Structure 1
Amino acid sequence: MRRANPVTTLLATAAVTASLLLVPTAQAEEPRAAAFAADDYCLGQCGDIVPPGNNGNATLAEILTHKAFGTRPAHSADQLGKYDALVSGYSGLTNSQLTDFFNDASFGVPSDQVESTVKPRPDVTIVRDKKIGMPHITGTTRSGTMFGAGFAAGQDRLWLMDLFRHLGRGQLTGFAGGAPSNRVLEQSFYNQIPYTEEDLQKQIDSAAANGGERGRQALADVNDYISGINAYITQSVSARNFPGEYVLTGHADAITNWNDIQPFKSTDMVAIASVVGGLFGAGGGGEVQSALVKLAAQNRYGAAVGEQVWKAFRAQNDPEAVLTLHDGQSFPYSASPASPQGVALPDSGSITPERMVYDEVGGTGASVAVPAPADVAKARGIFEDGVLPPDLLNKKHGMSNALAVSGAHTDSGNPIAVWGPQTGYFAPQLLMLQELNGPGIRSRGVSFAGVSMYVQLGRGVDYSWSATSSAQDIIDTYAVELCNPDGSPATKASSSYLYHGACLPMERLERKNAWKPTVADGTPAGSYALVMFRTKYGLVTSRATVGGKVVAYTTLRSTYMHEVDSIIGFQELNDPSAIRSAGDFQRAASKIGYAFNWFYVDSRDTAYFNSGLNPVRRSTVDPNLPTWARPEYEWVNWNGDENTSDVLPFAGHPNSINQDFYISWNNKQAKDFTFGGFGHSSVHRGDLLDRRVRALIASGTKVTRASLTRAMAEAAVADLRAEQVLPELLRVVESAPVDAALAPAVQKLKDWQRSGSLRKETAKGSKAYGHAEAIRILDAWWPLLVEAQFKPSLGDGLFGALVSAQQVDEAPSDTHGAAPHKGSSFQYGWWGYVDKDLRKVLGDPVQGAFPQTYCGGGTLSGCRSALVTSLQAAVAKPANAVYPGDADCAAGDQWCADTIIHRAMGGITHDKIHWQNRPTYQQVVQFPSRRGQNITNLAAGRTATASSHETGWNTLPPSHVVDGNPATRWASDWNDNQWIQVDLGSVQRIGRAVLRWESAFGKGYRIEISNDGTSWRNVFSTSAGDGGDDVVAFSPQDARYLRLTGTQRSGQYGYSLYELEVYSS
């Protein structure tokens, strides 16, 4: 008899054990009516989505089955198709079709939609719904709610959370493997967030001590959350259903159940928060690179003109830049003063990057095949390319977008928002979706795994909020003078520095890491030490000479050692008692130290606030260049021991309530508010949103949730270069007759641009772009034309320095060293530079023009010659050179090169999806009501009558639609013209009907209202009904009766409704 494989046998046993251990609690939740929750003022008009799926954990058995057969764990991919489908489905989109592309983000779970119910301890219940499997966490105590949030986080993201707590400590390689990508990633994070355990604990203690009652509550929340995670770890180890990646990376044994999964502790959350803040919430720190551009410009053009050239490309306050606050408000911050003092420019060629890696041993050579059973070997090498892109942190991050329109321009007079964070595409996703309901907390939305005690982006009872990365300058670079304690002359190797006249030793922060080959990553065994030197002025990043003096350049971030302080703001955003107005929201957002643009909407107001611990600088200091580390140039009232200083007051932060509309795609916030880097010029991807929202409002047609979603979705497949810059390029090219050989290419480009400049399939599933040849030409042409336009005039040195400061292109298929297939595109590039220079060549008016004209030496004929030559080279470049291919795509496959692939951080992979430049997690929201207004179902328990109903063996009377039971229904006779009506008992204000259809739905129907049951007024009609739950809003009116009349059935049967609900608004 053949012996059973011990691994798979044990896994099967573990699965049974797990199902017994987590058996749903009988009658844990009373059946409730299909109507909305009593505190849900969105009334079915809130939607959200986050691909690929909410379940981010997979057991070893599930990973191996996936590798063998392609199956995936439940709810690990059930939002991916819906998310992807919007590309082909946005044209003609209606409000009723939004549920085809977004989840219903209402509070709670109808009793017939409960998939599982778990009570990890008596004071908390975790209900998961059938549709997407997200946790709906309800606690009878605050402690229980937080415990449940931690338990659910463990269920959905334990492996990812473990990765991030190790990454945040610079210990990734020893945990996940020594793959070269892991080493680069680990080093990049340790370079910016090196902390000791004492540092991590100090930040927790400080936040608790300085935050008052909310600080103390936050500390209690963290501890309860951690307890919940650890309870799940204990349970999953006992049940043997912990994530299978622990086995594949050598941290657990599937047979003996040995494991070294460590309990979480509060300092882990600081480490994870540091990773998230470093990725998405910082800005600035590029002062040395900016200095190199300035020096190169002055070397090329002389001091005075070079200064002008540097300022023009730096574009600190380009008057043509798209703004989030467009009503003329001015918020001066971080601009260069007229006569800066204390600037510390490096001597030419003197910069030496700081060494970080020491004592490196091993880690090279062929991959080691660690012995494993045949079925386990199917997962061999899943992490040999690393668990995350190696330059995840080093590459620029400016992601997420937002569109919000005030009620003055919307269909119902209630504001509308379509927004979300653009955090990349990973499997599992960095963000996890949840609902929290307990004392002092009521929210639904997403949180970063491992810090999900609060929803960070989502909705409350009658409001929603979101954010985009703002990247204003909260990091400065200082030149600290090096010294030796014995008084001998300093060298670049010196490890002491001058601080207020004293020669102080640098603090050495060291992390020793060692790894060995595993099934997941066969990288040969190796080790190294990571070393960072810390001064009071920040972390040492390079060394140089300045005017002959030996210095170390350090970076000082205002949020360094203050990673936890933002917790108070997030706590308030989740507390309905704290957020009752747009002003309350702004005050809560102002307590978040990371650099974000925050947006808010409720039934009446929209609002915006730019958060960040913005240091107050001396008026003579230039934040765009390195500064001498001397008392007279320090931040105002800076404390070097605590890294605190005066910060910009509330009024100094860009903020607004009820502007006509807001857009943000990491563009410039407001006039005079300076971005922390290059790139906020005359063309920005924010223009893709701005022009579409302006067109919606200018059309005179009221904006709907669907129309604003359409605007976002079209922008998501638009090529910024083609839409905004190609017209000027073609004007130059066609300023003289075009050669016959080049004419077809020019015509293709014109046809594409005139058709909308979209990168979109010819038909759903075709995997081929419309205007594919024009897209190929522009993809090939852009880097060539930028070089042809600028390099001859700028010279190699200045052009190279500028390219280092601002990359030339960011097309969907252009990786720029980052992971391919990442989705986010057109954020960083030379679009504005090209646009401004070409318009100057063409003689068009240009605000904030370059001091010189670069293309063709400033002549139209010369510029045309340069562009035509580069276009000819682009046309001749074959597709397999433009799209060279990779492990996922064949060379020359244009559509595939653009596709989004969720980067696997675990053992489950996912299918490619169509390229789209949109938030990873996205909300579509419009609140029709607010606290204090009546949102009860006015039809509940009232009298319902109908033209007919089924009788006999299955009697389905009209009374079923008002009985509050989602399992009972009314069904009509089997012909079209049938009706059902509800008598509300008296004349009342009504403005909404909710139809919860059975499978026999109305494709065509109308809704009428009446005061007397005789004279009827039509308020809604459709011929495009698609079943499910229809939320029909109309202008609120007084009526006693509401009647639904079917005009076209969806099939051979009659009309069938589970519930017909009526609301006042």
Structure 2
Amino acid sequence: MPRRTSRATLDRLRTPGRFPGFLKSASVCVLIAGLLSPLTQTAASAAGTAAPNDHCGGQCSDILPPGENGNATLAQILLNQAFGTQPGHAEDQLGPYANLAKGYPSLTNATVNTFFNDASFGVPSDQVASTEKPAGRGDVTIVRDKKTGVPHITGTTRYGTEFGAGYAAAQDRLWLMDVFRHVGRGQLTGFAGGAPSNQGLEQQFWRNAPYTEADLQAQIDNAVANNGARGQQALADVRAYLDGINAYIDASDSGRYFPGEYVLTGHKDSITNAGTIDHFKVTDLVALASVVGALFGSGGGGEVNNALSLLAAQEKYGVAEGTKVWESFRERNDPEAVLTVHDGQGFPYATRPDTPQGEALPDAGSVAEEPLVYDRTGSAATATASTASRTAAATALGSARRGMSNALVVSGKYTASGHPVAVFGPQTGYFAPQLLMLQEIQGPGLSARGASFAGLSMYVELGRGQDYAWSATTSGQDIIDTYAVELCQDNYHYLYRGTCTAMDKVEQKNAWKPTTADGTAAGSYTMRVWRTRYGPVEYRATVGGKKVAYTTLRSSYLHEADSIIGFQMLNDPDHVKGPDSFQSAVQHINYTFNWFYADATHTAYYNSGDNPVRAGGVDAEFPVWAQPAYEWRGWDPATNTATYTPASAHPHSTDQDYYISWNNKQAKDYTTAPWGDGSVHRGNLLEDRVKKLVAAGGVTRAALVKAMGEAALADLRAEDALPDLLKVITSSPVTDTTAAAAVGTLQTWLTAGGLRTETSAGSKTYANADAIRLLDAWWPLLVKAEFQPGLGSDLYTAITNNLPVDETPSAGHGPTGSHAGSSFQYGWWSYVDKDIRAVLGQSVQGPLARTYCGGGSLGACRDVLISSLKEAAGKTAAQVYPGDDQCSAGDQWCADAIVQRTLGGIKHYRISWQNRPTYQQVVEFTSHR
């Protein structure tokens, strides 16, 4: 019988500050021998799995760091903490992923799979690591390959196939799935402990989706009822999937090889095996989906912040001129913005009305955020590290969480083979274990391989089918509006269509225990949200002296489960047979995504999301009165359904010469929610490289990977803004020695390509390190020196609350924290570019309303830039890179490095920065059905 961990050892591990992930990390100095889990899989069979209708011809590849296995027993966690050892397949995709940063320049088609995995269907017989009949079922087999441990699920019945998918998901991500079903319910701290990171995570999501259990169930019921046979099939698939998850829970519990985090958080006893792991239920999956939707698929919002910056502009310049200045910074429809659909098609949406109607702008100084957190006495909690109210700036940064993922797709007309080539994938952050998981699923009506969010893997969500592949990027178009509901009677009643109506109070209470044996409660708090027919209350204010609550209504609110139909279609080889059927599938996805498609002959693109049809004259940028005249057309408050723009009005395209997307503007006249879709956007890093490849022709898989790989190391500011900044500075001889040295350092880096790359693989030192440090220090200084004198401090601050000045690799990125890879999505580079070009006398389409640098004088602007550059040159590395929980102050490489943020007990090593998708595919189909 295995030896048990001593009670004293477990108590030490449970102490706050010692357990990794939620309760912070520390090394474990005790090796618990003999606790390694029994294997749940049988020995490998001699036969591999068949490859049904695989038309990729060995030309499909993918990668998902750190590894497929995201579960670890208690013994494996202790070994990892003490000695850094890894469970099998927990880290084996991290090295190849990291190595592309130095390996891409010499890449060939033959060496693509040095950095990616073969994503062909099936497993060759000599590559089978294990074969399993989950729960002894005869209608499904799970085969895992030797290289990655990815589950290849083959079923002879639909139920068995989905049962196997659930079983495999629990094998690979049970703890993570449990974490996120609690996040979605606002119950993480009660489940995993009261660490500030836990509180912050659940607060961020629950405010946006404060659902009751009845709400969660209603979403399932509605999705099924509204989708006929497909809806019924989806429910059957979900139930089979849940049966598989729960079968694994029971097996791992009785066999005592469940994830060790359950012991370390007090849910299971390692000695007696007392305690339970709760079975999953249908509503858990809706809670999980609400987290994914909030992270990646819900563009819009921010109307109150927009109003505050508009009022600041009008206060400084007057109403007419202030509005003009504000609009120029907003760049709603910038003519210089890089576009995904670049063939001239226009798709007007959320455009600025000539005469706005129903606006409800707040009175100056009246806006206050609605408290979310209350202490055990019922009083609103004061701001702390874990319960801090969101400032306007924090809200703006929170919106940045939706800016992720990229895609490069080239038509076969311009490739060497004559078949389309695609390199694409989502950027979901870097976690241990990863939010996504890989699988292949083959069964009646199901044939796909790729990535899915853990706990939602009844279907492949991003991947490939028999003769086609698909992927998505976050699109961010506006499906969220803010309404000003007039209060009546008291602060918790409002006028709804003329009737004074009580708000609904929804609360979630959390109490947590310390990790000591006595189990005394260490703390508790309550989250409280007031809901109206127009959505949850987010702010209070006055408008024209009237007391109002500002509410937030999104079209996917109460509809988190609706997208399941689209994913079901994507996995169905009888549905997707070409671009048209692909587009019809993703039309059923109500979240805001850009979808890309490639097969052996065609490419396609479609922008999904339930885009509400707004009332005439309503400006989607600002709050409007909660009155029938300004509601969404056809809006039913009981179901939160409305009239939505038709598929033809969504940006879409087939067989364009190429597509790029890095969360940039989709098409002409299509107004997206994020600020910053201007002349300089990180989408330009892909656009410039792919456009050159297409012009030359003969594009290969390796060439397209190279384009992505180089863009992933590019400093956007260096590539697209620095050259003109240096033109201004060198417009006259630079006589100051400090400035001259700085200019020389920056110019040398530009000549070398302006990339943030190591001197050699694994050196943990940047080439051109001084230039990179200099630009990192200079950018925020130059932006402030360039714009604040002209805008004034109040307006400058207000606009930075809408759009942060910078997003370097070392910056924080919403819920993914720092060290998250994704960079250069949000910043003032477009403003700097337009302003500096105006100073230089260059042509600028869609210019800023005024010229700011030096008041428009070249000489004065030059002085501003030189002065701020000299200040930057005086900054030490420790000042530029101040250090954090991962890095010492001054460690430049570490400040940028990607960290797999722990969501459980296993930790992984840091890797050098790359600005690329987390999960990525490289595909080129050679034939079609």
TM bracket, shorter-chain basis = over 0.9
1:728 match: 724
Distance (whole Å) between structure 2 residues aligned to residue 460 and residue 110 of structure 1: 19
1:861 match: 859
Distance (whole Å) between structure 2 residues aligned to residue 219 and residue 232 of structure 1: 20
2:42 match: 24
- Are the counterparts in 1 of residues 372 and 527 from structure 2 also a CA contact under 8 Å? yes
- Note closer, same or farther for the CA distance 1:741–1:26 as it changes in structure 2 (3 Å cut): closer
Q: Tell me, what secondary structure is at the counterpart of 1:423?
A: coil
2:595 match: 598
Distance (whole Å) between structure 2 residues aligned to residue 685 and residue 797 of structure 1: 28
Q: Which has the higher strand share?
A: 1
1:76 match: 90
From 315, 336, 351, give the equivalent of 1:320. Answer: 336
After superposition, residues 681-720 of structure 1 pair within 5 angstroms as 681-698=678-695, 700-720=696-716
1:815 shift after superposition: 2.5
From 104, 122, 125, give the equivalent of 2:118. Answer: 104
From 887, 893, 901, give the equivalent of 2:885. Answer: 887
- Note closer, same or farther for the CA distance 1:883–1:867 as it changes in structure 2 (3 Å cut): same
Give the letter for the 1:300 counterpart.
Answer: K
Q: Tell me, what secondary structure is at the counterpart of 1:509?
A: strand
2:671 match: 674
1:352 shift after superposition: 1.2
1:534 shift after superposition: 0.6
1:875 match: 873
1:520 shift after superposition: 13
**Does 2:905 correspond to 1:907?**
yes
1:913 shift after superposition: 0.4
From 324, 333, 339, give the equivalent of 1:308. Answer: 324
Give the letter for the 2:433 counterpart.
Answer: P
Distance (whole Å) between structure 1 residues aligned to residue 185 and residue 5 of structure 2: 38
Greater RCO structure (CA 8 Å; 6+ sep)? 2
1:619 shift after superposition: 2.2
**Does 2:784 correspond to 1:787?**
yes
Q: Tell me, what secondary structure is at the counterpart of 2:402?
A: coil
- Are the counterparts in 2 of residues 682 and 836 from structure 1 also a CA contact under 8 Å? yes
Give the letter for the 1:85 counterpart.
Answer: N
TM-score, normalised by the number of residues in structure 2: 0.93
Runs of 4 or more, structure 1, over 3 Å off, are: 3-16, 29-32, 360-363, 390-396, 519-524
2:488 match: 483
Give the letter for the 1:518 counterpart.
Answer: T
1:166 match: 182
Distance (whole Å) between structure 2 residues aligned to residue 692 and residue 59 of structure 1: 46
Give the letter for the 1:850 counterpart.
Answer: L
After superposition, residues 34-433 of structure 1 pair within 5 angstroms as 37-120=51-134, 121-360=137-376, 395-433=400-438
- Note closer, same or farther for the CA distance 1:290–1:26 as it changes in structure 2 (3 Å cut): closer
Q: Tell me, what secondary structure is at the counterpart of 2:721?
A: helix
1:888 shift after superposition: 2.1
1:397 shift after superposition: 2.1
Give the letter for the 1:825 counterpart.
Answer: S
Give the letter for the 2:459 counterpart.
Answer: Y
- Note closer, same or farther for the CA distance 1:4–1:403 as it changes in structure 2 (3 Å cut): closer
Distance (whole Å) between structure 2 residues aligned to residue 723 and residue 161 of structure 1: 41
Alpha-carbon displacement from aligned partner over 1:1023-1044 (angstroms, at most 9, x marks no partner): xxxxxxxxxxxxxxxxxxxxxx
1:40 shift after superposition: 0.5
1:305 shift after superposition: 0.4
1:659 match: 656
**Does 2:626 correspond to 1:634?**
no
From 802, 808, 812, give the equivalent of 2:809. Answer: 812
- Note closer, same or farther for the CA distance 1:97–1:185 as it changes in structure 2 (3 Å cut): same
Give the letter for the 1:87 counterpart.
Answer: A
Q: Across the two proteins, how many residue pairs are aligned to each other?
A: 890
- Note closer, same or farther for the CA distance 1:640–1:521 as it changes in structure 2 (3 Å cut): farther
Structure 2: give runs of 5+ residues left out of the alignment.
10-29, 380-385, 387-393
TM-score, normalised by the number of residues in structure 1: 0.82
Give the letter for the 2:461 counterpart.
Answer: Q
> What percent of counterpart residues are identical?
62
Give the letter for the 1:761 counterpart.
Answer: E
Distance (whole Å) between structure 1 residues aligned to residue 652 and residue 477 of structure 2: 14
- Are the counterparts in 2 of residues 11 and 240 from structure 1 also a CA contact under 8 Å? no
Distance (whole Å) between structure 2 residues aligned to residue 400 and residue 763 of structure 1: 27
After superposition, residues 896-1045 of structure 1 pair within 5 angstroms as 896-931=894-929
The structure with more radius of gyration: 1
Distance (whole Å) between structure 2 residues aligned to residue 617 and residue 857 of structure 1: 40
Distance (whole Å) between structure 1 residues aligned to residue 421 and residue 338 of structure 2: 21
- Note closer, same or farther for the CA distance 1:38–1:190 as it changes in structure 2 (3 Å cut): closer
Distance (whole Å) between structure 2 residues aligned to residue 413 and residue 310 of structure 1: 47
Distance (whole Å) between structure 2 residues aligned to residue 815 and residue 496 of structure 1: 38
Q: Tell me, what secondary structure is at the counterpart of 1:559?
A: coil
2:527 match: 530
Alpha-carbon displacement from aligned partner over 1:979-1026 (angstroms, at most 9, x marks no partner): xxxxxxxxxxxxxxxxxxxxxxxxxxxxxxxxxxxxxxxxxxxxxxxx
1:814 shift after superposition: 2.4
Q: Tell me, what secondary structure is at the counterpart of 2:542?
A: strand
Alpha-carbon displacement from aligned partner over 1:935-975 (angstroms, at most 9, x marks no partner): xxxxxxxxxxxxxxxxxxxxxxxxxxxxxxxxxxxxxxxxx
- Are the counterparts in 1 of residues 424 and 471 from structure 2 also a CA contact under 8 Å? yes
- Are the counterparts in 2 of residues 15 and 240 from structure 1 also a CA contact under 8 Å? no
Q: Tell me, what secondary structure is at the counterpart of 1:625?
A: coil
**Does 2:478 correspond to 1:473?**
yes
Alpha-carbon displacement from aligned partner over 1:449-480 (angstroms, at most 9, x marks no partner): 01110000000000000000001000000000
Distance (whole Å) between structure 1 residues aligned to residue 727 and residue 44 of structure 2: 72
1:519 shift after superposition: 6.8
- Are the counterparts in 2 of residues 178 and 523 from structure 1 also a CA contact under 8 Å? no
1:357 shift after superposition: 1.4
1:359 shift after superposition: 2.7
Distance (whole Å) between structure 1 residues aligned to residue 918 and residue 896 of structure 2: 16
Alpha-carbon displacement from aligned partner over 1:635-666 (angstroms, at most 9, x marks no partner): 00111111011001010000000000000000
From 507, 511, 521, give the equivalent of 1:510. Answer: 507
Distance (whole Å) between structure 2 residues aligned to residue 460 and residue 11 of structure 1: 44
- Are the counterparts in 1 of residues 52 and 121 from structure 2 also a CA contact under 8 Å? no
- Note closer, same or farther for the CA distance 1:696–1:508 as it changes in structure 2 (3 Å cut): same
- Are the counterparts in 2 of residues 249 and 519 from structure 1 also a CA contact under 8 Å? no
1:754 shift after superposition: 2.0
- Note closer, same or farther for the CA distance 1:423–1:732 as it changes in structure 2 (3 Å cut): same
CA RMSD of aligned residues (A): 2.2
**Does 2:737 correspond to 1:740?**
yes
Distance (whole Å) between structure 2 residues aligned to residue 481 and residue 701 of structure 1: 60
Give the letter for the 1:476 counterpart.
Answer: D
- Are the counterparts in 2 of residues 589 and 598 from structure 1 also a CA contact under 8 Å? yes
Distance (whole Å) between structure 1 residues aligned to residue 575 and residue 249 of structure 2: 34
Q: Which moved more, 1:767-776 or 1:650-659?
A: 767-776
Structure 1: give runs of 5+ residues left out of the alignment.
364-382, 384-389, 485-489, 932-1065
Give the letter for the 1:642 counterpart.
Answer: T
- Are the counterparts in 1 of residues 48 and 122 from structure 2 also a CA contact under 8 Å? no
Distance (whole Å) between structure 1 residues aligned to residue 725 and residue 31 of structure 2: 65
Distance (whole Å) between structure 2 residues aligned to residue 640 and residue 629 of structure 1: 12
Distance (whole Å) between structure 2 residues aligned to residue 889 and residue 523 of structure 1: 35
Give the letter for the 1:331 counterpart.
Answer: F
- Are the counterparts in 1 of residues 877 and 890 from structure 2 also a CA contact under 8 Å? yes
2:543 match: 546
- Are the counterparts in 2 of residues 319 and 848 from structure 1 also a CA contact under 8 Å? yes
Alpha-carbon displacement from aligned partner over 1:704-736 (angstroms, at most 9, x marks no partner): 000000000000000000000001110111112
- Note closer, same or farther for the CA distance 1:745–1:532 as it changes in structure 2 (3 Å cut): same
